[in-house]
Amino acid sequence: MPTQEISSFTTSTDGGGKHFGIGAHVTSANPLTPPGTPAVDIFSSLSITSKDNTLSITGKLTGDNYPSTEAFISDPSGQSAFLGIGFKDGSPYSSLEGANKDRPITTFSLSLTTDDKGNFTGVNANGKTYSIADWNKQFQQQDPHKNDKKKDNL
């Protein structure tokens, strides 16, 4: 079972909306690897602003990133949208030693539009607007063996 630690959590409200800051660390052993294999460590830092049916999200993931890391957010209906992904070549023995808190995995900056119930209706990123399906398709179609140098989302 993964171990989770919230290292920071801040909230504020002003004319610009509701702001949330979250820092977290998740670590877990991979049950498919031999005993003694180091655990996978992922650190996240997120800033979320909610205003007028829009969630603006910026953040980064750091850590082991082996063999890959996916970050997503889910709405009340259970629909998810990718925040970012990372791929890493190597082996569990060369990639997992230590927590690697400063090793970059991915960074992201996007806005999710929502309906009045908080369910995602679209994504705005890099000057473009996407449906949730089209946004997610970009990540689902990436091949980790062809994109091992690509660390940021599209």
- List all residues 6 or more positions away from 152 whose beta carbon is below 8 Å from its beta carbon: 84, 106, 107, 108
Residue type, 10: T
Tell me the pLDDT tens digit for each residue of 74-119: 999 999 999 998 877 666 666 677 778 888 889 999 999 999 999 9
pTM: 0.82
Tell me the pLDDT tens digit for each residue of 29-41: 877 777 877 888 8
Average pLDDT, the chain: 86
Tell me the pLDDT tens digit for each residue of 123-152: 999 999 999 999 999 988 776 555 444 444
